[in-house]
Amino acid sequence: MKNSKVTRVNRWGYIFLIPFFLTYVIFQVIPLCSTIYNSLFENYRSGLKQIGPNFVGFANFAKLLGTIDVWNYFENTLFMWIGGFIPQIVVSLLLAYWFSDPSLRLKFQQFFKTVIYMPNLIMASAFAMLFFTLFADQGPINSILISMGILKEPFKFFASVTASRVIVMFMNFLMWFGNTTILLLAGMLGIDSALYEAAEVDGATSSQVFFRITLPILRPILLYVLVTSLIGGLQMYDVPQILTNGKGDPAKSTLTVIMYLNQHLTSKNFGMGGALSVIMFFITGVLSIVIFNLNKRKD
């Protein structure tokens, strides 16, 4: 009797999952299948003439993986993500720790917390446009540096691989550190204050408290931050796209995988675009398995 009631209640589990799975299957799984299917064909448009679809097996994959290009673009993507993520997590941890530290008793907390999230409200494309203007050869950044005597002649930011990448990283950092701070802060405030008090009684320094108590307890939320940031990182598109007009200048050093995919989509090359999507799918799959396994092992 009780058992059957529990089963009946638990049936709602399925019902509540229906909207998600139905939507996911229609708008993600079906497109994914058609993408995979497409990857096996030669299928593009030459001018207004449709070429294919002709079945070519794994030729598209062979062509993509036969050169080092995809890996270069993947490396660009990861490199620029990591370069933005490390300062982001460091600064966010620091700020969140300060906000949550009762002994600091910071004033205007609400104001600071509100403000640091705001760069995220600017469209990535508009943000990129601003940066492009600011860092132009004759732009304000150069003229400030020259008038301060730091530079003799304008530095060509967008002609330098390092400078271009750093600008992308900095923008990613700026757009996301507020978001991360707020998330981490939430985790920190959830920590039982008895733990801190106990540490204090034992005479722990604030850095000891941070590394021995705060960080370990924050691990799940750090995982969430890491995973969501990695997802965003792998999908990096808007910022370098607008900043370099879709070209990934200089010398394709800021060309991300999704920008590369977009180039194939622009030329209506559904075969190669499909193959690249499938490769991307596998890479993200492997990465997510690695991350979740790492987490499990530690548990």
Partner 1 sequence: MKKKVLSVLLSAAMAASILAGCGQAAAPAAPAADAGSDASEAEAEAPAAEAETPAADTAASGEGGKVLNIAAWNEEFKTRLTDHYPGYEVVDGTHGKIGDVTVNWLITPNENNAYQDRLDEILLGQESASQDDKLDMFLVEADYALKYVDTEYAASVEGLGINLDETKDQYQYTKDIMTDSNGVLKGVSWQGCPGVMIYQRAVAKEVFGTDEPEEIQKLFADWNKFNESADKLKEKGYLTTASVADTWRVYQNNVSKPFVDGTTIQIDDNIKKWAEDSKDLYDRKCTTTVQQWTDDWNKGFYPEGKVFCYFGPAWLIDFCMAADTEGSIAHDGGWAATEGPQGFFWGGTWICGCEGTDNADLVADIMRKMTMDPAVMKDIVLKDNDFVNNRPVMEELANDTSYQNAVLGGQNALKMFCAGADKIDMSNLTAYDQGLLGDYQTSMMGWMNGNFASYEDALEDFYKSAEVRYPELTH
Partner 2 sequence: MEENRKVSKGIPVRTRRVISYIVLIFFTLLCLIWFYILLINSTRSHAEMTKGFTPIPSTHLIDNWMNLVHGTLPIFNGFINSFIVAGGAAVLASYFSAMTAYAIHAYEFKGKAAASAFILAVMMVPTQVTALGFIKLINRMKLDDTLIPLIVPAIAAPITYFYLKQYMEANLPMSLVEAARIDGANEFRTFNSIVLPIMRPAMSVQLIFAFVGSWNNYFTPALILHTDVKKTLPVLIAQLRGADWLRFDMGQIYIMIAASIFPVVIVYLIMSKFIVGGISSGAVKG
Residue 47, interface with partner 1 (CB under 8 A)?
yes
- Give the binding range for partner 1 (CB under 8 A) out of 88-96, 99-107, 131-139, 177-185: 131-139
| Interface characters, 143-162, with partner 1 (x: CB under 8 A) | -------------x--xxx-
Q: CB-wise, 48 or 121, nearer to partner 2?
A: 121
9 makes contact, choosing from partner 1, partner 2, none, with CB < 5 to 8 Å by partner type, with partner 2
Q: Which of 51, 141, 146, 182 binds partner 1 (CB under 8 A)?
A: 51
Please report how close the Cβ of residue 114 comes to partner 2 at its closest, in angstroms.
Answer: 5
The one of partner 2, partner 1, none whose footprint includes residue 267, by CB under 5 to 8 A per kind, is partner 1
Q: What backbone phi and psi angles, to 5 degrees, belong to 85?
A: -75, -40
Give CA separation, 54 vs 37, 58, 65, 78, in Å: 12, 12, 20, 34
Distance CA 296, CA 287 (A): 14
In angstroms, the CA 243 to CA 35 distance is 28
Please, are residues 272 and 62 in contact by the beta-carbon 8 Å criterion?
no
Beta bridge partners of 41: 55
**Nearest-5° angle of CA 180, CA 182, CA 188?**
100
Q: How far apart are CA 299 and CA 293, in angstroms?
A: 10
- Per-residue contact string for residues 76-115; x = within reach of partner 1 by CB under 8 A: ----------------------------------------
Take residue 278 and report the two structure tokens written for it. Answer: 């499938």
Binding of residue 252 to partner 1 (CB under 8 A)? yes
Q: Identify what 135 binds: partner 1, partner 2, none; CB under 5 to 8 Å per kind.
A: none
